[in-house]
Amino acid sequence: MHIWVDGDACPKAIKDILYRVVERLQIPLTMVANKALQTPKSPLIQMIKVAAGADVADAEIVAQMQAGDLVITADIPLAADVIAKNGHALNPRGTFYSDANVKQYLTMRNFMDDLRGSGVSTGGPAAFSNSDRMAFANELDRFLTRHLKNKQ
């Protein structure tokens, strides 16, 4: 298994959790972003800088990931592509995307885009909170525990 991170919008607190986890469990992690990100020096952690542009980092992740890999992203279309390739997608706020829910999230996202396109102010997501960080850490821990147990 490999962990991929859609790094452009991933909160620092989530990156810090991931850096600690990959070192502890010896799981490779790749940050993908359209700007260079500082990462700890580790043979397990790499950074891929892609060209600027909409969905360039997403396309790189989908092209390189394999079935069973975990992708950390808040980008719902990317999550849908990951699910379609039999990967796992976890939102930095602690929500796992799945076959059962990703279509619903896409529908809601598209609906909100349509509202914004027609001039309706929909606001944005709530500020990233400590409870979001904890929800992410808990879901990541549950996932990795299951995944590593199944590998034995």
135 in Cβ contact with 94 (< 8 Å): yes
92 in Cβ contact with 125 (< 8 Å): no
Q: What is the pTM of this model?
A: 0.88
**Res. 115: pLDDT tops 80:** no
**Euclidean distance between CA atoms 5 and 136, whole angstroms:** 13
User: Which pLDDT does position 48 carry in this prediction?
Assistant: 97
User: Which pLDDT does position 150 carry in this prediction?
Assistant: 77
- Give the helix/strand (H/E) hosting 59: helix 56-64
- 3-151: in CATH 2.170.240: no
User: Which pLDDT does position 124 carry in this prediction?
Assistant: 66
In terms of Cα–Cα distance, which of 69, 36, 70, 64 is closest to 50? 36
Residue 101's pLDDT band (boundaries 50, 70, 90)? confident
